[in-house]
Every structure is written in structure tokens, then in C-alpha cells.
Amino acid sequence: MIEKKEHLSDNLKDYVDYSMELMNALDGAPHHNPEETKKVNDKIENLKAYLQNLQLSYNETSPFGNSLGNEGLSDILL
């Protein structure tokens, strides 16, 4: 399970670090076998969780973030 960190900067770092890991996993996509494809899709799902943690952390930090809820992020994830 991916846990949200206390500080916004830590959540951003986790997201960026994992994004780079996913980017490396995407290398050679046209030649991936079913196992590699599943691993990449699992990583994409995990990246969504990191992004959700980043959004929550930002909204907790921003004086107006809590009033906006989680609207807007779903468009990015789809």
C-alpha cells in the first residue's frame, strides 16, 4: 500500500521518483510480453495512488484546497 507522507514536498518527490521508475518500465513497450505488460499496468495504477496522495497533500497545505475537494484530477487520470 502506498502511504501519504506528512509533507507536500515528500509526496511530490515520491510521485516524481515513481514516475521515473514507470518511464523506465515503458521502455521497449512494443516488445513487452504479457508479464511485462501486467507489471507496467500495475505501475500505472500505483502512479495514480501517488498522484492522489499528492493532490490530498496539496489540498491540506493550500488555504483553499479543502474547499475544492478532489474535482479536476479525474480528467487527468482518465
Name the average pLDDT for the chain.
89
CA distance 22 to 46: 10
Q: Give the residue among 72, 34, 67, 36 at the shortest CA–CA distance from 51.
A: 72
pTM over 0.85: no
Question: Averaged over 20-36, what is the pLDDT?
Answer: 98
Question: Averaged over 49-72, what is the pLDDT?
Answer: 84
Question: Averaged over 14-42, what is the pLDDT?
Answer: 98
